[in-house]
Amino acid sequence: MELLSNLALGFATALSPSNLFLGFVGCLVGTLIGVLPGVGPIATIAMLMPLTLKVDPTGALIMLAGIYYGAQYGGSTTAILVNMPGEVTAVVTALDGHEMAKQGRAGAALGIAAIGSFFAGTVATLIIAAIGVPLTRLALLFGPAEYFGLMVFGLGLAIVLARGSVLKAVIMVVLGLLLSTVGTDLETGQERLTLGIPELSDGVDFAVLAMGLFGIAEILRNLENPESRNVAIAQIGRLLPTRAELKRCVGPIVRATGIGSVLGILPGNGAVLGPFASYALEKKLAKDPSRFGRGAIEGVAGPEAGNNAGAQTSFIPLLTLGIPPNAVMALMVGAMTIHGLIPGPQVITKYPSLFWGMIASMWIGNLLLLIINLPLIGLWVRLLKVPYRLMFTTILLFCAIGIYSINNNPYDVYFTAFFGLVGYVFIKLGLEPAPMLLGFVLGRLMEEKMRQALALSEGSFMTFVERPVAAVLLVLAAAVILIAVLPAVARSRQKAFQE
């Protein structure tokens, strides 16, 4: 009952004409900026934050949330259309989404992404409203040892994620882990593998790495094979998925929503795992796993739903504990603080209309996105008809400006060019960049959590066994890795015997 009255308060706040307008503007502008290649959600929010300064705190938060959703959806659009994931979670979308685009099914990929996100957003909003607060307390039980288990589990998923050779996938994950150690050591302040370049002292930026390995390398690949890209441009495909495709996506969307919501609540940025977990799960459940990576619509629907659910529920640690779980949320804290509103455990009681208004605006934002984006799909797809010789230079320019603007540092542009070259070499050597990217993201968290756990246990590895949640997660992780690796080992042994 209380839930209903809270939600009523929320909707009354969020549906006031001015707040509705701000939400709409946020979604629209967020989408339009986020869709530029090279401009990920973090960059989009940072760029658009000043726009919200002139509005009252509630309106500003609603607008910021709109910008965030818009930027995320815009990021998925670039991931699908030009294979440029601007953030971690869009990497998975790019795997099958871009394949679909190449096959002339860009419309369906964009459509299912919007639909999946809307469903996930709706459920996640309800979850936040109903049980968000008690769940946060549960999530606090996660200490460094538990997160370490979770990250190892994620690495197992990274191997499942790959298509083709398991050995190569393991190599790429390890390479990503190694790359994640570049930068100043948190504990001692020593420089590690920075080659004496000061710009590397904070490590490699994720956006730089993803843009180079995926985006720039994709341009180079397209320049070499004019055939592959012409197909995508010639055929748009229908803008909405077929009934059969929709039906195939119901299961993945529902499962991914559950996974994403749970992971998003964890305050240690568990949300990054959502899309990967969903993808790996659907690939294992599929009758024909080989379709994944070759344009399977479930490979877009699931991760997009998982991503959006996690994006939504990751507001919970922010709003209830005042602790930002990831870089985007840290930016949100900054934006709130500028308005004199410091997020924390008291927000709900002190500003109920703001809290519930924001939650209601999450659902409204998702609805607005659906309304804004379905017609926009036609526009994006039409943009792809620009001759490639002009399009790739444009993408490159946006990319250069976007990457430069992250830190206003030209070095980031040079590093992007370097990783573009690396990505090109990977293509030539038949190595997949996706597992490396996941290894990179999880590696940094994994090392931090492992060293924190060991520091707190004074160097005793028993901490991973004595803490039951950590132990269970590690066992699960081991199982996932074994399931991923064993069949391949068995197969290669079989082949060896045949020779």
| Positions 30 through 59 that interact with other proteins (CB under 8 A) | 33, 46-50
For position 385 contacting other proteins by CB under 8 A, the verdict is: no
| Positions 346 through 365 that interact with other proteins (CB under 8 A) | 346-347
| SS3 labels along 52-113 | HHHCCHHHHHHHHHHHHHHHHHHHHHHHHHHCCCCCCCHHHHHHHHHHHHHCCCHHHHHHHH
In the bound state with other proteins, the residue whose beta carbon lies nearer, of 74 and 144, is 144
In the bound state with other proteins, the residue whose beta carbon lies nearer, of 145 and 370, is 145
For position 290 contacting other proteins by CB under 8 A, the verdict is: no
Q: Which of 5, 130, 224, 486 is the binder for other proteins (CB under 8 A)? A: 224
In the bound state with other proteins, the residue whose beta carbon lies nearer, of 186 and 479, is 186
In the bound state with other proteins, the residue whose beta carbon lies nearer, of 242 and 487, is 487
Residue type, 80: I
In the bound state with other proteins, the residue whose beta carbon lies nearer, of 238 and 428, is 428
Q: Which of 1, 227, 244, 459 is the binder for other proteins (CB under 8 A)? A: 459
Q: Which of 407, 469, 471, 488 is the binder for other proteins (CB under 8 A)? A: 407
Q: Which residue has the tokens 């707040």?
A: 19
Q: How far apart are CA 122 and CA 257, in angstroms?
A: 10
For position 265 contacting other proteins by CB under 8 A, the verdict is: no
Q: Which stretch binds other proteins (CB under 8 A): 136-144, 275-283, 295-303, 372-380?
A: 136-144
Q: Which of 247, 285, 394, 482 is the binder for other proteins (CB under 8 A)? A: 394
For position 478 contacting other proteins by CB under 8 A, the verdict is: no
Q: How deeply is 373 buried, as exposed, middle or buried, from its count of CB atoms within 10 A (0-12, 13-18, 19+)? A: buried
In the bound state with other proteins, the residue whose beta carbon lies nearer, of 17 and 430, is 430
For position 416 contacting other proteins by CB under 8 A, the verdict is: yes
Minimum distance from residue 492 beta carbon to other proteins (Å): 7
In the bound state with other proteins, the residue whose beta carbon lies nearer, of 60 and 123, is 60
Q: Which of 284, 382, 460, 478 is the binder for other proteins (CB under 8 A)? A: 460
Q: How far apart are CA 259 and CA 195, in angstroms?
A: 40
In the bound state with other proteins, the residue whose beta carbon lies nearer, of 33 and 301, is 33
Q: Is 322 helix (H, G, I), strand (E, B) or coil?
A: coil
CB atoms within 10 A of CB 334: 13
| SS3 labels along 350-413 | HCHHHHHHHHHHHHHHHHHHHHHHHHHHHHHHHHCCCCHHHHHHHHHHHHHHHHHHHHCCHHHH
Nearby residues of 211 by Cβ (< 8 Å), 6 or more positions away: 37, 38, 84, 86, 399, 402, 403, 416, 419, 420
Q: Which stretch binds other proteins (CB under 8 A): 100-108, 190-198, 238-246, 376-384?
A: 190-198
Rg (CA), the chain: 22
Distances (CA, A) of 105 to 232, 242, 293, 300, 356: 8, 11, 14, 12, 39
For position 431 contacting other proteins by CB under 8 A, the verdict is: yes
